[in-house]
Amino acid sequence: MNVYVGGDVSKGYADFCLMDGEGGILLEIQPDDTH
């Protein structure tokens, strides 16, 4: 199984996720930065 690590910092904070080869999200990390 291939696992990909994606990141998105365009929102102003780090947003990381682990995806498998089929595009399914295995783990998604969204820091709580609402304050």
Torsion angle in degrees (nearest 10) through CA of 29, 33, 34, 35 = 160
Query: Is 35 domain-assigned?
Result: no
Q: Using alpha carbons only, what angle is made at residue 1 by residues 29 and 14, rounded to the nearest 5 degrees? A: 15
Taking CA atoms, 33 is separated from 14, 16, 18, 25, 30, in Å, by 10, 14, 20, 21, 9
pLDDT per residue, tens digit, the chain (35 aa), is 566 666 666 766 556 777 777 777 777 776 666 65
Tally of structural domains, the chain: 1
Q: What is the pLDDT of residue 6?
A: 66
Task: Report the distance separating Cα 21 and Cα 32, nearest Å.
Answer: 27
Q: What is the pLDDT of residue 34?
A: 63
Q: What is the pLDDT of residue 2?
A: 65
The pTM is what? Answer: 0.33
pLDDT at residue 24 in the model: 76
Q: Could you tell me which residues come within 8 angstroms of residue 34 by beta carbon, excluding any fewer than 6 positions away?
A: none
**Is 10 inside any structural domain?**
yes
Is residue 12 included in any domain, yes or no? yes
Domain of residue 11 covers 1-30
User: What pLDDT is attached to residue 20?
Assistant: 73
